[in-house]
Amino acid sequence: MVNKTGLENDIKYVLLDEAQLKDRVKALAQQLTEDYKGKNPIFVCVLKGSVNFFSDLTRHFKDYCEYDFLAISAYGNGTKNSGIVRINKDMDMSITDRHVIIVEDIMDSGLTLNHLTAMLRERKPASLKVITLLDKPARRECAITPDYYGFVIPNEFVVGYGLDYAGLYRNLPYIGVLKPEVYE
């Protein structure tokens, strides 16, 4: 593999390749198009990890919808959830009486989404659902399940397609498992 870059050398194996991601994301968008017909939902992108998923998901949603963004951090630069969720940037729009779909990259302990959904419910949306590309149920620390998910994955630390380790690897077009020696 002489042409491998340093970036790709940090990947132990590809868990989900570009074709798998594309097919699944398109299917999820078709499902949402049916479920939200005539509802003009607000898709909320949880920055930064969800950007790639958000962008591919919404481009296959075939009805009226609006976008908003919020930034939240729970991890710092490590791979374990500290349990502390910080809102770095709130949404711009009012979600009262609106149908809201939170778009997340991964549900791990679930603490981030637990906190986020509780916070957004106080704003009295007409409905609030969560879609996550990846679900790691083995690590759940609270009673929360996604309304929609792309893939259930094993308990491995993954990067790519928006997901990072220490801010890096988001630009990989696939989801890969990071070599443990990169973060140990």
Contacting positions for ligand IMP (CB under 6 A): 49, 74-75, 81, 104-112, 157-159, 163
Cα atoms found within 13 Å of the Cα of residue 27, Cβ hemisphere only? 11
**Residues 142, 9: Cα–Cα separation, whole Å:** 35
Quote the tokens at residue 168: 């890096």
Residue 169 Cβ vs Mg ion, minimum distance, rounded to whole Å: 14
Give the chain's count of helices (H) and strands (E): 5, 9
Catalytic residue IDs: 108
Q: Give, as one character, the DSSP assignment of residue 163.
A: B
> 119 by DSSP, 3-state: which?
helix
Which residue in 49, 146, 160, 162 binds Mg ion (CB under 5 A)? 49
Residue 183 interacts with which of Mg ion, ligand IMP, none, CB < 5 to 8 Å by class: none
Integer-rounded Cα Rg, in Å, for the chain is 16
**Which CB sits closer to ligand IMP, 36 or 165?**
165
Q: How many residues bind Mg ion (CB under 5 A)?
A: 2
162 near Mg ion, rule: CB under 5 A: no
- Interacting positions 91-130 with Mg ion (CB under 5 A): 105
Residue 20 interacts with which of ligand IMP, Mg ion, none, CB < 5 to 8 Å by class: none
Q: Give, as one character, the DSSP assignment of residue 138.
A: G
Binding site for Mg ion (CB under 5 A): 49, 105
